[in-house]
Each structure stands twice: as C-alpha cells, then as structure tokens.
C-alpha cells in the first residue's frame, strides 16, 4: 500500500469483514444456543433437540467454517489492496 487513502480503505474492508463474521458468530453461539433455543428445540437433528445441538456442537462447526471463510476473504482483500505475501 502506498498512500493513506488505500490504507484506510483496506482497514475499512477488514473491519467490515470482521463485523459480519462476529454477527454470524454471535447468532450461532448465543442466538441459536440460548436466545432461540426454545424455538429450535421443536426440531431435532440426530435425535437431539436442535437448540441443544447448536449449543453443544453446531456452533463449533460454524466457527470452523468461519475460520476458513475469513482466511479466504482476507486473502482476497490482501490481493485486491496489494498487501499479499509473495
């Protein structure tokens, strides 16, 4: 990155990505595991109520998927703003 405007755009894009990921993270862990658990427990997955499943296992799968999504998107941002490693 060569100028201040490019640097600002890069960090704005990075923070926007992090904000989206944190919202998904919150909805998967706190939302599905606690806030919406009563509604989700009307459905089952693998013989367990869905709210319980999200609290115990589902949120972990989502977190792992978010890690890979973050890696992919950050690599794309790095290339777009020419701050990638060679």
Flag whether 38 is in a domain.
Answer: yes
The confidence score (pLDDT) of residue 73 equals 97
| Structural domain for 20, as ranges | 15-80
Flag whether 6 is in a domain.
Answer: no
Flag whether 31 is in a domain.
Answer: yes
pTM of the model: 0.83
Flag whether 46 is in a domain.
Answer: yes
User: What is the Cα Rg of the chain in Å?
Assistant: 18
Segment 41-86, tens digit of pLDDT: 999 988 999 999 988 898 999 999 999 999 999 999 999 998 888 7
Flag whether 5 is in a domain.
Answer: no
Segment 10-45, tens digit of pLDDT: 999 999 999 999 999 999 999 998 999 999 999 998
Question: How far apart (Å, rounded) are the C-alpha atoms in residues 59 and 41?
Answer: 15
Flag whether 56 is in a domain.
Answer: yes
When divided into structural domains, the chain yields a total of 1
Q: Taking a C-beta distance cutoff of 8 angstroms, is the pair 81, 46 a contact? A: no
The confidence score (pLDDT) of residue 62 equals 95
Flag whether 19 is in a domain.
Answer: yes
């Amino acid at each position: 990155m060569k100028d201040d405007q490019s640097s600002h755009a890069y960090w704005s894009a990075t923070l926007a990505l992090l904000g989206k990921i944190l919202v998904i993270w919150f909805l998967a862990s706190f939302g599905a595991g606690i806030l919406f658990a009563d509604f989700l427990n009307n459905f089952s997955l693998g013989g367990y109520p869905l709210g319980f499943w999200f609290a115990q296992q589902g949120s972990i799968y989502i977190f792992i998927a978010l890690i890979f999504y973050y890696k992919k998107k950050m690599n794309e941002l790095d290339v777009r703003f020419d701050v990638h490693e060679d």
